[in-house]
Each structure stands twice: as structure tokens, then as C-alpha cells.
Structure 1
Amino acid sequence: MNVFGKALVVLILVMSIFFLASSVAVYSNQKNWKEKADQLQTQLTQAQAQGQELQAQIDNLNKNIDNEKAEKVKRVAALETERENLRREYLEREQAHAGLVEQNRQLIAQTEAVQNNMKGITDELTKLRGTLATIQQEKEQNFGELVKITDQLHQAQGQLETLKNRNLQLVDQAKHLTKLLDVNDINPHDPVDGQPPKVDGLVTAVSGQGLIEISLGSDDGLRNGHKLEVYRASPTNSKYLGRVEVITTEPDRAVAKILPEFRKGAIQKEDRVATRF
């Protein structure tokens, strides 16, 4: 795998982690909003129960007031009948009446306090309803964002699968090219412009100093340092003779030295030379 392929794989991994982290963050945010909504619903239920309890107390107080008023009427009637004979008792009843008035005042004050408290509860309930509506709206918005991010994640997964398949193709192609380089004895680290062109020619002369002259030159793309294979062609079987290295070139011919470590036979005039045997 080359540097570009490695960088591409790392980039895909980073993007996958990013989308996964975003999905987890959105899910956590949605869960927190739900818990807050449940807490507000619990507070609302408690406020409603408290309001019902206060209303029951008000009803009991009103009933007591009505009972006391009825009792007062009866007592006044009895006092009017016995006023002359029971003045002292009348005075005591009068004091009792004053106590009842004070009690009644206190009850009225308590009733007003309860009413004010109920108003506060009603205002708080209205506020909670508004907050609940806001939470619901934000929840719907977060759900829409979650759907969008999920779609993006699916697209990224599809792109990742495509890139994985492409990476496998590139790996297979690289293996094939490496095999071709090995078969043709080419070093992949050699510069491209240092490779000899694909040519085929003849040995035109052989010297006793390990040099030969060939029918290929600079016009054919040969340069000093290029290596050629020498072989003897025959109708039945071609024989490999060795490898030579170009040391001087002219437009239509070149001189090459025989490399002893590759020599397999005596090279003669009219033998064939080529970049590949």
C-alpha cells in the first residue's frame, strides 16, 4: 500500500469515529431532555394534588362558618328572649361573639392566603406548560437532527465500503505489478527514465577486450548504463548468451561491455540483442 492509500484509510477511520461520536452525543442529549420532561411532569402532578387538598380545606372552613352563623342566630334569639333575666349570660355570649368574629377574620385571611397561593400555583402551572411545550419542540428538532446525522452516517458507511473494495482492487493490482517487475527483473525503486526502451537489434562486431558493437544507438533511445540481453536465435531453440552494458552511443550504433557474471556463452557477430530476452 502506498502513502496515499494509507492516508486515505486513516482519513476514513477518523471520519467514522467522528460520526459515531456525534451520534452518541445526540442520543445523550435526547435522553437528558426526556428525563427533564419526566421531572416537570412529576412536579405538575404534585402541584395538582396540593391544589385539591387546599380546596378541600376551603370547603371545610366554609362549612364551619355556615354552621357557626346558624348557631349564632339561635343564640341571639335565645338571648333576646332572656335578655332581662340573663344579662350576665348575654355579656358572656357577646364576648363569645367577639371571639367568633376574630376567628371569622382569621378564616377569611386564611382563605385569601389560600386563594393567593392557588393563583401562584396556577401561574406556575402555566409556566410549566410553556416549558413543557418548549421541551417538546426542542425534542422534535433534536430528533430531526438525529435522523439527518443517521443518514449521513449511512452514506459514510456506503462510501467506506466502496473505498474498501477499491483498496482491495488496488492491492491486487499492486501484487500483479510487483510480480511483473520480478519476472522482468526490474527494481521498482529505479528511476523511470533510467529504464532502456523496448528494442531489438544485432551484434555487428565483437572485440577481444570484452566489448561488442550493436546496431542500436541513441536514436533508438539507448543511453550509457542501459543493459541489454544477448541471445542466439534459431528456428528450434534460442540460446541465452549473457548481458551487456552500454558504455558509448552514437545515433545508429553503440558499444557495450560484456558483464562476466551473466555470461553464458561466446558472443558472435549476428547474435541478437534486446532489452528483454
Structure 2
Amino acid sequence: MTTVGKILVLFIMAFSLILSAVSSVVFTTSKNWKVATEAEKKKVNDLTTKLRDAEAKTAAAQKDLDTEKINYDAQAKQLNDRIAAVEQQNQLAQQQITTANGQVATAQQNAKTALEEAEANRKETLQLRELKSAVEAQAAEFKLHNAEQNDKIREMERALEAATKNNTDLRERVAKYSTLLRSSGLPDDITQVKGLESPPPVVGEVTRVDATNRKLEASIGSNDGLVAGHELNLLRTSPRPEYLGRVKVLSVDPNQSVLQVIGNTYQGKKIQEGDIVSSTIKPRL
């Protein structure tokens, strides 16, 4: 039995006691018992009707209370489910926030790295621009220098063309001079032509004489300044100084030379090893 039911029972019992007391008083004091009884019955009926109405209302109230309790339990369950769902959503949102914070930190680090790279790229771009300007200036200078070199090359080509032409002319002239020299009995070798000049101051010994007594070898050569064509005096110093004639250099090595007697020796004397060839010792005839 619910609390409301208990209250109603107590109320009914109290009401019954009161009614009994009132009835007793009425019965003892009333002269018209029938009227009084009828009146009391009517009151009892009224009270019974009211009690029934009250019980009906109590039952309806209990029913409404049970309905409200069921509704409350259902709403409480819905609210608890919604709270659990909200808590789950909050937990998921918190995880998403944590993930987002990590992503934000990563994005910030990436942005910082990107800014550093952009700054490095900007500096590198400035350096490249400066280098490009320097290279362009150098290229312009190189073009100017190249143009100057091309002008010089063209001038040199013209000079080479003129030199080639002059060289051809000189070759033709040298060929003519060589032919003229050979036809005159003179050598066309420039080293031999130098032999026509005065020989350097030299003194050497005859180291070998051929069987014809016309050619001989001496101990002086190109290291001493001799060239083919030089003419030297041929002398003898022992047992007494005497002049033997003139010799002409035919060929030279660094330390020796081959000479030929010009004409005949003085008084037909034979040349001997140890005789002297010299450009500085003059003959005494």
C-alpha cells in the first residue's frame, strides 16, 4: 500500500469515529430520531460519496503518479542515454581536439620550416640574381672582348693572308737566289754562307790527315764558333815555325771540324798531325 492509501485509510477511520461520536450525540440529544437518523444517513451517504470520490481521485492520482513515474523513468533513461551519448561525443571531441592540437603543432612546425626554407630560398634567389647580374655583366664584357678579338682575328687573317702572299713571294725569290748562288758555285745554305764572314778567334790542332793530304780534321768546332765556309791559316810550330797554307771549313761538329786545303800547301809540304789551324796566328813568309 502506498503512502497516499495509508493516509486515506487513516482519514476514513478518523472520519468514521467522528461520525460515530456525532451520531451518538445526536441520538442522545435528538428528539426526532427518525429525522435525525435520516439526516445522519444522508450525511453518511454524502460522506460516503465524497469518500468514494476521494478514493476515485486517489486511485486516479495514484494511476497518474504511476504513469508519471513511468514517464519519469523513461525520460530519465532517455536523459541518461543522451548524457552517455553526449559524454561519448565529448570524449570523441576531446580526442579530436587532441589530434587537432597535434596537427596544429605539426602544421606550425611545418609552417616554421616552410618559412625558414622560404627565407633561405629568398636569400638564394637574391644571390642568384646578383650572380646573374655579374654573369650578365661578364657576358656583356665577354661579348665586347669577343668582338674585339674577332676584329683582331680578322686583322690577323688579313695580315696572315698578306704574310702568306709575302712568304710565297719570298720563297720564289729565295728559290731564284738559291739557283743563282748554286750557278755561281756558292752554297745556298745560310750556315755555309756565314762562312764567307770573318771567322772567330780560334786555335786548334790537326788530329787526322787523309791520304790525299787535302782533307784534315781539327780539334775545334761549332762550340768555338766555326761554321762551314770559314777559312783558317795552317801552320807548324815545331821544330820551327812555318806557314803551310790556307784551309776551308767543310763541316763542323761541336768539338771538331773537317777542313780542306785551299789550293796547294806552301812549297808542297805535307800536313802532319799536331799542325796548327788558327784565325789569329798570322803567317810569316
Query: TM-score interval w.r.t. the shorter chain?
Result: 0.3 to 0.5
Q: TM-score, normalised by structure 2?
A: 0.42
Report 1 or 2 for greater relative contact order, CA contacts < 8 Å, sequence distance ≥ 6: 1
Which structure has the bigger radius of gyration? 2
